[in-house]
Amino acid sequence: MPRSSLRRAERVSAILERLAADGSVDAGRLADEFVVSAATIRRDLQVLEDQKLLSRTHGGAVAVDVAYELPVRYRAGQNRDAKGIVARRAADLLPKGPLTLGLTGGTTTHILARMLAERVDLTVVTNALNIASELALRPRLKLIMTGGVSRTQSYELVGPIADRALEGLNMQVAVVGVDGISARGGLTTHDEIEAHTNACMIRRADRVIVVADGSKIGRAYLAGICPITDVSVLVTDSSADPAGIDAIRRAGAEVVIAEG
């Protein structure tokens, strides 16, 4: 995609990725790269500073914490094509007919929810606010929403209320989004409370499908969700690190490489 055609969400996502990699950005260079005005870049940097994702300097910005988690509204612009391919392949793996399906939060699970919105005989259990809003007005499916405390980074409801709701439910399949997945670290995310709620959903499902674009393979973050042995199938794309994929297969999980 030409840099000049990037939407704001995609542009600021790229800025945050640059900050994570380099620790600082120059406003003039960003304006040239994205083919926008310096004033546009300054507005982007101000929005991100208001959200405490960076600190502005004369002529640019520096990272306040290079280990931050991108809010989901910015992550949606990352690896968009790969996520769509992964979501489509995951949809193909779901059984036909009546199905009770758990969906955690995440950009790929959100794409999957859109793909499933016209299915009949489908019951969706989710703790994700954006997925619930996508499905709430679909008359041919049943939506079950957990309670819980809203986590702004991921649009998920998490914590003891969500955990208790999930513990009373049974799901045939749970489709889980993660920040990282590896043979050694299993499924991981940035937040330990979110990890616990996602683990509750996994325990209540007969089959667990993890959807993760190639950038997440081999990564491990602070909070563990579950070991790789709890995963039935990992669906990823061809950009995934082959060594990371081989290690996950050796640990016992089936891996499906989605092709465009």
Do 12 and 120 fall into the same domain? no
Whether residue 67 is predicted with pLDDT greater than 50 in this model: the reply is: no
CA atoms lying within 13 Å on the CB side of residue 105: 29
pLDDT band at 79 (very low <50, low <70, confident <90, very high): low
72 band by pLDDT with thresholds 50, 70 and 90: low
Same domain, 124 and 168: yes
Which residue range(s) make up the domain with 100?
75-258
Residues 33 and 81 in one domain: no
Q: Which of 18, 24, 33, 12 is nearest to 55 (CA)?
A: 24
- Residue 242 has a pLDDT of 96
The single-letter code of the amino acid at 144 is: I
pLDDT at residue 133, rounded to an integer = 92
Residues, the chain: 260
Say yes or no: 170 and 218 in one domain. Answer: yes
Q: Are residues 79 and 61 in the same domain?
A: no
The predicted-structure confidence for 16-28, as pLDDT tens digits, reads as follows 878 876 778 999 9
Whole-angstrom distance, CA of residue 56 vs CA of residue 157? 32
For residue 1, what pLDDT is reported? 44
Q: How many domains does the chain have?
A: 2
Q: Is 172 helix (H, G, I), strand (E, B) or coil?
A: strand
- Reading across the β-sheet that carries 54-57, which strands appear in turn? 24-26, 60-63, 54-57
Give me the CATH number covering residue 199. 3.40.50.1360
Contact 175, 209 (CB under 8 A): yes
Helix axes 8-22, 38-50, angle to 10 degrees: 70
The residue to which tokens 């931050």 are assigned: 68
pLDDT > 90 in the chain, percent: 70
Of 68, 90, 108, the residue at which a domain comes to its end is 68
CA R_g for the chain:
19
Residue 61, beta-bridge partner list: 25, 56
21 and 92 share a domain?
no
Same domain, residue pair 61 and 131: no
Give the span between the Cα atoms of 240 and 213, in whole angstroms: 7
Q: How many CB atoms lie within 10 A of CB 161?
A: 15
| Chosen domain end from 68, 92, 115 | 68
Question: Where residue 31 sits, what CATH number does that domain have?
Answer: 1.10.10.10
> Same structural domain for residues 154 and 250?
yes
Q: Are residues 139 and 210 in the same domain?
A: yes
- Residue-wise pLDDT tens digits, 101-130: 999 999 999 999 999 999 989 999 999 999
- Contact in structure between 228 and 206 (CB atoms under 8 Å): no
Indicate if 13 and 92 belong to the same structural domain. Answer: no
Same domain, 40 and 149: no
Same domain, 61 and 93: no
Residue 196 main-chain phi, psi, to 5 deg: -65, -40
Last residue of a domain, one of 68, 85, 115: 68
pTM of the full predicted structure?
0.76
